[in-house]
Structure formats: C-alpha cells, structure tokens
Amino acid sequence: MLKNTGSAREAVEEALRRADAPAARAVFTRRYDVDARAAAAKADASPDRPPYWGVPITIKDNVDVAGDVTCAGTKVLASGPPAARNAPVVDRLNRAGFINLGRTNMTEFAFSAIGTNPHYGTPLNPAFTDAHIAGGSSSGAAVSVALSIVPTTIGSDTGGSVRIPAALCGITGFKPTFGAITNEGVYPLSASLDSIGVLAHTVADCAAVFDVIRDQPGQARVAPSLRGVRLAVIENYVCNNLEAPVARAFDAACAALAAAGAEIVPLQLPEIDEIPELHRNGTMVMAEAYTQLKDVVTGREADCDPRIVTRILGGGKITPAAYDAIKQRRAVLQASVAERLGAFDAYLMPTVAVTAPLIAAVASPEAYLAANILILRNATVVNFLGGCAISLPCHAKGTAPVGLSVAMVGGRDDALLGLAESLARALG
C-alpha cells in the first residue's frame, strides 16, 4: 500500500540510500537529491497531509519537470532549454504528496523494447546475477521499483514500454486506454499511441497512482469473484515461438485462474494475424516518429544510438498513402476484435514471448533487431487495438520473471484494474 508510515525525510533518505547501491547504476539520468530532501523537510513541517504524503516516486526521462531539460534518453536534446513548467502528470503527483527522486533512464526517444542506452548507461535487470536487459523503453523506471528504491514510478507506453520491462523485471505494469491521461509535457514519439503508464509491485498501487494522474475520475472498482468470469486465451500469433519458461509459466497461470473459478476459453483472433503484413513496409509508429523526430536527428545521427536513429529515419520511407491505409485498416480491425471479445471479461496472453536476454546476446545490430521485434510483438497488439492492459508477474519463485497480460478493449480501465486485483490474488 502506498503509505508513508514514518517521516517524509526518513522515506526519502532510505530511497536515496537504495539509489546509491551498485545495483542501481544507470537507473537515473538525473537525481533530484537536494530538491527531494527539501520537499521532504517541507512536508514534515506542514500540517497538510495529502493522501500520498512523503511517498518517493520516480519519473521517466521523457516527462517535463520545470527547470530541467527533458532529454528523453538522448544526448541530442541535452543542450536544449529547460522545461518552463511541469507536465500536468507531475503537478498531480506533487499535489497528492509524492516526492520525485529523479528522472529514470530509458531507451533513446522511447523507441525500443530492449532498454539499453549508450549515452547514460544501461540499467541491469535485478532479477538476475549477470547482465540481462531490463526491457524498455521504461528500463530505469522498472528497475527503480524492482530494487524497491521507490514503490511506484511513471513510465510511458507506446508499444509496451511499461508492460514489457514490468514483465521482464517481475513487477506489475499498467497501460491505460490511450487518452485517459494527458500527454502534455511528455516528449512525443507517436501521436496515435503514446500513453502514460504506471509501474509498481501491486495492482492496487498502480490503480492508486492512476487515480491521481488520470484526466477524469473513474468508476467504482470491485475485485470480483472469479467464479463465472470468462477469460479468452488468445491462441494465435501471440503464442507463436514462446520460450519454454514463458509457456510453462503462462500455462500454470491459466490453470491457477481456472482453479479459482474462472472459465478459460481458447480463442482465435484472426485479425491480429494481419499485423505483420500490414506493417511489412514500416509501422505506424515509425511513420509518426519520423514526422516528430526527423528535424531533431538529421545532422546529429552520429550522436544517436545507431539502432534507434535507423528506425526513426526509416519511417521516412512510409508514404502518406501507406500510413493512411494502416490507420484505416486498424480502425476496421479494432471494431472486429471488440465484437469478437464481447462475450469475454478480458483476454490473456504472455506479456513477452521470452524471458530477459543477456545484454551481450543483443549486442549485434541483427540480434538487437530480432529481439526487439519479438519482445514487442505481444504488447503492441493491445496498443494497436486501442485497448488497456496490465502485466502481472506469474512466474514461479526463483525462476526468471514472466508476465501475464490481462487486457480489455479501450475505455474499461476501472473494470480491468478491479479484475486484475482478483487475478493477482489467484496467482498468489
């Protein structure tokens, strides 16, 4: 539960102590130690006690904090002007009593699921004793929670960038419906897909932060009995080429939910089989990233991660006609899937098809690209379909983290969070 039981200063000092640990290397692009201590002292001296008074939090490096440069994980933006004001999300967190410890590391421009960063270092996945990726693009965000530096953090999710690192690091990650939280003050990648999201250890904590930063108040949430709940398990596309530990953990999770009373129904979604062909000559994200970033990176290619800038500039090959065709077909597929899922309470799939690979295993451009495509595959389905989703840890203790994706059609964020509470309890 997100509650500070001591003083704000004690909570902040403990968080900063953990942030100093060797395991936290490269988690932050910038820390706000002085500001956080000052905020904690002010909080302790004030009679005002907002609901999350003195709770430490971290913010992804693509979110504006007044007076600081928003770098979005790149050196290209580092010499730019500081933000004139906080992103609304930051103001909402401040008013609720959270204390921001700093900006968390990320994939450059949030444009990869791997989580490596050649400019600010690469956060290591705490679930392993050797150097595995944490997943991206919200890599530092996930590690800041996995190491218990903070109980919760803010990330962004364009194609899985909250849920993927949550799954690979063994924590919970929530992506609300596109548009549920304003993107004002968040450095853009894709105008059609960017979403602010929340990472934490529990569903309840994700829900609590969502209620603080969402644009509109939500509906009453209930954690229902699973008896009679119908869960569709997607059998095509997202279950292709699963790594054996992922398949075992996913099957065991479905069995546990069935034992708790849920009806597990295998389901084919032929619509999602179209996604690779629809994106054969480039994705909607690539096209929108090119529009947003071409003037930022052109002439500065040598200062960028070559694996990222190549994808950004590759978006220029997507013609306006091809881009429009993708968007139009996307709308048709969204409507078709929504109708097909109407008989179910939610749909399930592995969040990521593999466990976190070694950083060395994705070092070559070819290996990086192949891993990025596979790691993104499942999570991007939800973004493409305009839905909301949460990743719950579902691996056995002592094994590599695996995430269970629970998703619904867009606009059902509160229903999803309520159901996810019940599912998390059943998973133990």
Q: Which residues are catalytic?
A: 60, 137, 161
Do residues 289 and 194 lie in contact, with contact meaning Cβ atoms separated by under 8 Å?
no
**Strand order through the sheet with 28-31:** 28-31, 99-104, 56-60, 152-157, 195-200, 172-175, 388-393, 403-408, 346-350, 230-234, 263-267
Give the integer Cα–Cα distance in Å for 288 and 297: 14
Do residues 56 and 15 lie in contact, with contact meaning Cβ atoms separated by under 8 Å?
yes
- The 3 state secondary structure assigned to 124-169 is ECCCCCCCEECCCCCHHHHHHHHCCCCCEEEEEECCCCCHHHHHHH
Q: How many CB atoms lie within 10 A of CB 390?
A: 34
Q: How many CB atoms lie within 10 A of CB 299?
A: 9
Both ends of the chain: CA-CA distance in Å?
Answer: 17
Do residues 139 and 117 lie in contact, with contact meaning Cβ atoms separated by under 8 Å?
yes
> H-type helices in 46-133, by residue range?
88-95
Alpha-carbon torsion (280, 247, 153, 179), positive or negative = positive
Give residues with Cβ within 8 angstroms of 339, minimum separation 6: none
Do residues 195 and 180 lie in contact, with contact meaning Cβ atoms separated by under 8 Å?
yes
Do residues 220 and 420 lie in contact, with contact meaning Cβ atoms separated by under 8 Å?
no
**3 state SS of 328:** helix
Cis peptide before 137 (omega within 30 of 0): yes
Torsions phi, psi for 18 (to 5 deg):
-65, -35
